[in-house]
């Protein structure tokens, strides 16, 4: 019966890991969009626009760069945080898996 609880806990860890991976992918996609926008801004000499809700607003390039830079920092931090959680869950899952395998022998 003890082994059954460990297996259930292992399945829960796997689900949590899947959720973290989906969150990480979302943040990585947003980070790529952010970096692309920053690159476009550097090449852009004309007017830039920012989408707010369902409208586009003219915005100063420097202000947009600052905003995108801040967002990039936040996204980097979130990704690093998720990676820490991911590593912790992987370690727990590995230990639990070893215990289950040892108990089955």
Q: Could you tell me which of 36, 44, 39 has the C-alpha nearest to residue 60?
A: 44
Average pLDDT, the chain: 93
Residue 3 has what pLDDT?
83
The CATH code of domain 2-104 reads 1.10.287.370
pLDDT reading at 66 higher than 70? yes
Q: Could you tell me which of 103, 86, 105 has the C-alpha nearest to residue 7?
A: 103
Residue 69 has what pLDDT?
96
Domain ranges of the chain: 2-104
Contact 44, 61 (CB under 8 A): yes
pLDDT reading at 67 higher than 60? yes
């Amino acid at each position: 019966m003890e082994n059954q609880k460990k297996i259930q806990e292992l399945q829960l860890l796997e689900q949590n890991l899947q959720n973290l991976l989906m969150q990480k992918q979302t943040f990585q996609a947003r980070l790529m969009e952010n970096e692309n926008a920053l690159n476009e801004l550097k090449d852009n000499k004309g007017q830039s626009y920012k989408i707010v809700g369902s409208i586009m607003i003219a915005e100063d390039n420097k202000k947009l760069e600052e905003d995108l830079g801040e967002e990039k920092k936040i996204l980097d931090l979130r990704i690093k945080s998720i990676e820490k959680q991911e590593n912790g869950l992987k370690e727990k899952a590995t230990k639990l898996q070893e215990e289950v395998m040892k108990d089955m022998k």
